[in-house]
Every structure is written in structure tokens, then in C-alpha cells.
Amino acid sequence: MAIFVNKDTLVVCQGITGTQASFHVKNSLDYGTKVVAGVTPDKGGTLHLGLPVFNTLQEAVKETKATASVMYVPASQLKAAVREAVEAELDLAVSIAADVPLRDMLEIKAMLRGCKTKLIGPNTPGIITPDEARLGIFPVDIHKKGNIGVVSRSSTLTYEAVLSINRAGLGQSTVVGLGDDILIGVDFIDVISAFNHDDETKAIVMIGQLSGPFEEAAAEWYKRQHNKKPVIAFVAGDAMPFDHNMGYAGDILTNGYVSVQDKKDALADAGMIVVNTVSDITKALVNLK
């Protein structure tokens, strides 16, 4: 098993004919991901990468029975792309776009409320279930099949966490990049909850960062759970001075009063295993074994 995507997931790519989409979708196809169609307005009826292209997502889903979308559309078009995904009743949508306007994200969050579609991102490397499915831009050669779930707000540190898991002689069940924009779709709680219900996942690695309230919210939620899997947590940004302004809304809202140590303390108080460096994840996993 895995969470959100697996070898049977049928995927549509929105914006498939773009340069970046072409490159990454080809890599995903080579990886074994079941990408079954693409969507580019005014290019319906053509083929791209050997896949049928449709004018709308609804047409593509009706023809292919796809349940997930990976979106290679610019930030300015993300709101329309998510609306299509919601109207097509997809289970999952993944957005790579960075710098999505805050007003658009507020509208996107409202769209997603109460509907079945989950959004990963924006500004995310995506999601990968090793040897089964890759939606996004994750490097394919570092991931190994295993039973450690990974959820992270930092793209680069996600890769470091994966390598730490590999060094422990383990592998990953699914790796999810949440994205590090001010507003995002699924969060730590959504992903950790899914991992808790996945029989294949035995432990979870969580990578947080200095800005925003996501880590504290996850700590409060985790503390209330009775049946929960072990979580190894790392929070990036400890080396920065306390008064450093990261430029995120979270820093403005907290007025600089929440430090990395505050986040670590909250996670530890909730019962998570908090480590001081990404490389410490390896030792923590070995101790769990």
C-alpha cells in the first residue's frame, strides 16, 4: 500500500505540452507512472509524448477514468486548473507552480473545502511512491521502496531526508512535498493521518521549517491521537538569528515570537522524536528498528 498514489493511479497532466511538463512527464512515464492523457486548450485531438491531448480536464477524465492530475500550469492559471480538477471530481491534484497570488490561494482553499479533491502544493516537488508513481519533479534515482513515510515543507531537505532513510537501510512508502508557500493544500495533519492509516508505513519522517503555524498545529493534533505511528521530526532554520525575518506571513503573524526551538519543544511535547540535524534521522531510525 501507499498514500494518495500507487501503481494503479491513472494520471492526467494539465499543461502537458509545455517544456517543463514534457520533460518531467516523460521521466514519470519512464518510471512507470500511469499517465494516460494531457490537457492543453486548443490542442485537443493531438498526441504528445504518445498520449492523447484534450481541450478540457473534464473530457480527459471522462475518456480515461483518471483520478489524479499533475499541473504544470503557471501561477496565474492555477485557480482555473484547480477549479477544473474539483469539477471533474478528481481525488488528487498536484501543483508545481510557485508564487501563486495570495488572493487566488484563498479562493482555491474555499473551492477545496468540502469537496473530495486534495491539492498537494503549490510550490511543491510533488509526490512519489517509489517504484510505483511519480507526480511532480522528484529525482527518481534516490528513492527506494520501503515502509517509512516522508512529509516535508522543504524540497531540498526532502531529498536529504530520503538519503538519511536509505543510509539506515530502509526505504520510503510515499514521499510528499507540501510546498512552502504561505497557503498550501494538504498539510502535515492530512498526510500524517493518511500514513497512520496505511498498513505499509511503519514510521514517519516530518521536515518542518521556521515560518508558519503548520508544525504547531501538527503537534496539537498528534498529541490528541491514541493510536499513532512514531514520527521523527526536524525543523529547519535553527541557525538563523532569532530576529531574522524570513519574509513569510507566518513571521508577520507571530511577530518573531515563535522560534525553531519553540516548534521543536511543541513537537517533542506531543511525543514526536525531535532531531537536531537531518543526518540524525538515520540514527533515530536505527534506534527505532
pTM, entire model: 0.93
Query: In this structure, what C-alpha cell is assigned to residue 114?
Result: 468540502
The predicted-structure confidence for 51-80, as pLDDT tens digits, reads as follows 999 999 999 999 999 999 999 999 999 999
Which residues fall within 8 angstroms of residue 124, CB to CB, at 6 or more apart?
94, 95, 96, 136, 155, 177, 178, 179, 184
**129 found inside a domain:** no
One domain for residues 220 and 257 = yes
Average pLDDT of the chain to the nearest whole number: 93
One domain for residues 153 and 29 = no
**262 found inside a domain:** yes
Band the pLDDT of 245: cuts 50, 70, 90. very low
CATH of the domain at 284: 3.40.50.261
CA distance linking residue 36 with residue 206, whole number of Å: 32
pLDDT value at residue 1: 74
What average pLDDT does the segment 122-133 reach?
A: 97
The predicted-structure confidence for 158-191, as pLDDT tens digits, reads as follows 999 999 999 999 999 999 999 988 899 999 999 9
**137 found inside a domain:** no
